[in-house]
Amino acid sequence: MLLNQNQIGCVQNRPEVKFEQIIGRALAAESDVASTPAYLRAEWLGNTANSVLQHQEALAKTIVQEGIKTIREARSEVGRAHVTLKLCAEQAKRNIGQMIPFDQAPRGVGRIGWTEMRPVGLVAAITPFNDPLNLVAHKVGPAIAAGCPVIVKPHEATPGSAIQLQKLFAQNGLPEGVFQVMEGKGAEIGKRLVEHPAVKMITFTGGVATGKAVAISSAGRPTSLEMGGICSTIVMPDADLQNAVENIVSGMFAAAGQNCLHVQRVLIDDAVYETVVQKLVVGTNEIQLGDPMSESTDMGNLIDEQSAKRCVGILDDALTRGGKIIAGGRCSGRSFQPTLLENVSKEARIYSEEVFGPITVIERFNGLEEAVTRLSKASASLAVAVFTKSLTLPFSLRQLRTGSIIINDSTDFRIDAMPFGGPFPAGLGREGVEYAIKSMSEPQLICLNLN
């Protein structure tokens, strides 16, 4: 059934729901959803996925109105949320344990056993502003697939699409209390939520400072943290340069750089440095800024002026350390031009802090060994990309402590079945449908004595 904009789109004038009422509803639904057959949980997820696609335009408009994306980027996000929920529906039927060969020990002879995956219980999910629908789907979908009730605390600036998703789930038969949205400031409502004793598992996507606070508040409970990091790209002399430039430009400025997979560092071999830089400058200058609802706009604004000021601070720091602007560099309110820097000192903040904005630093290197040595010093790495025609060269990157190695594609390439995240301090655990479902489940051993 198609709902009108008021039915799924109105996010104002909602009756205030008390914190403990939301917790109470989740706990009341806990045992029922845990015992719901997998096929029925899969139906809730699959039918809602179809509804998401049917309401693509309404959801996309909400994403644009509240957040940072252009209308084309928002439609793409809705499409990804559809795929995410479909994957969850499929995986709900595959969350299985394993047989245990008890006869591997003498005293185990005559016994058989297995593990079954049981839902961990009430899940608290905290999500950011940059993918306000799909990152909610990445937490709600796995929770329902695993048989857990879930409470989502979305970013205070972008709750609308999460609320719309909740309504679509309800229209597709999801029982009351299984998925709820709790609005409010992260420092207040979010903290109270993760500290609540009824919460059995916490999943968080966001910044480092908040992630560390969540880890402290989790009090030893299962916790998944995705806190971002610096993504780097290497361009080798044998690369398909046109392919490299197109993918790098896309990865630098999608979502105005407010993307944890944003291409923040580009390392270019001396042999092709001048050629690649020239092409990157041209591609950067072609990015169209403007009304995010316009089909011709390529890049939207930063989420707020505080974020813009932070990016200005990182840019100014790079310039005081010898950096040179070769494209962009201007900021007005929340609008920040796509910006490229070169000749920046390795002591600059841009080498140790995630920018979360449309700024990228470009640097020369001479030979892969030098590039690997530099990247091995990165404090938190989510992904490293390399552009090359070599089949063997990328294996040299496996020594890097990074979550992903991407070959001949941008670091921001992602399909929603992939494991996602990076080693500490970039995060803890992995996102991605199958991996999230496992984190929201716990094995229960069954042992049968046949003697």
Q: Which residues are catalytic?
A: 226, 260
Tokens of 39: 């096929």
Q: Are 365 and 267 in contact (CB under 8 A)?
A: yes
State how far Cα 157 lies from the chain centre: 17
Distances (CA, A) of 237 to 26, 387, 390: 56, 9, 10
The runs of H, that is alpha helices, within 147-270 are 160-171, 191-195, 208-217, 241-253
For tokens 């989740």, what's the residue? Answer: 26
> What distance in Å separates the CA atoms of residue 255 and residue 370, rounded to the nearest whole number?
31
Q: Are 174 and 144 in contact (CB under 8 A)?
A: yes
> In whole angstroms, how large is the CA radius of gyration of the chain?
23
Distances (CA, A) of 302 to 1, 7, 127, 229, 354: 35, 29, 17, 18, 15
> What distance in Å separates the CA atoms of residue 42 and residue 31, rounded to the nearest whole number?
17
Buried b (16+ CB within 10 A) or exposed e, 414-427: bebeeebbbeebbb
Residues in the chain: 451
For tokens 């071999």, what's the residue? Answer: 269
Q: Is the peptide bond before 358 cis (omega within 30 degrees of 0)?
A: no
> What distance in Å separates the CA atoms of residue 233 and residue 385, rounded to the nearest whole number?
5
